[in-house]
Amino acid sequence: MAGPRWKPNVTVAAVIERDGRFLLVEEQTSDGLRLNTPAGHLDPGESPAEGCARETLEETAHHFTPTALIGIYMARSRPLAERGEDTTYMRFAFSGTLGAFEAGRPLDEGILRTVWMTPDEIRTSVARHRSPLLLQCVEDHLAGKRHPMDLVYVDESVRSAP
C-alpha cells in the first residue's frame, strides 16, 4: 500500500532591486531572526504573479507589479528536516516594479522590518537567510535571468479553487 502522495509547498518571491540594493524582510521565526525576500505561500485561486504581489504588499506595505519570472526553484527545508518534518518548497521568483508604499499598513505577523541590502551584504549574511533560495534568486537576477510572464499559464479553473 502506498503512503500519502508527496507534494511540494508552492511559494512565490519578489526580487526587488533599487539603486544596487535589494529589498528584504527581517522576520522572527522559530529559528530566530531571519532574512528573506518578500515571499510566501501561494493561496487557492491566485496565479503565482498575483500571489507574489499580495505577499509583497503584506510583508513590506509596498505594492509590487511582477514583470518577469526570474526562475522556478526547489529546496528542502533543512531546519524542518532536522525536526523530523520533511518539507520541500517550489518557489516562483519574480522581478518587477515596486509601487506605492501604504503608510500605516501593518506588516504580516513575524515581520519586524524591511531592509535594503547590497549583494555583498546578502552574500555575507547567508547564516541568517530563511531560505537557501534567497541568494540564488538574487544571483540569478544579477545575471539578468528574466523569462516572460506568459511562461506560467494559469487556467481559469484555478479561479474556482475552494
- Per-residue confidence (pLDDT) for residue 80, from 0 to 100: 54
Q: What is the pLDDT of residue 6?
A: 84
pLDDT along the chain (162 residues), means of 10: 82 98 96 96 97 99 99 84 76 98 97 98 97 97 99 93 65
Per residue in 77-114, is it b (16+ CB within 10 Å) or e — as a string?
beeeeeeeeeeebbbbbbbbebeeeeeeeebeeebeeb
* 63 CB neighbour count, 10 Å cutoff: 14
Number of domains in the chain: 1
162 within some domain: no
* 159 located within any domain: no
pLDDT at 150: 97
- CATH number, domain at 127? 3.90.79.10
Residue 161, domain member (yes or no):
no
Picking from 93, 26, 38, 35, the residue whose alpha carbon sits closest to that of residue 63 is: 38
The range of the structural domain enclosing residue 110 comes to 15-148
| Predicted local distance difference test score (pLDDT) of residue 3 | 75
Q: Residue 5: inside a domain, yes or no?
A: no
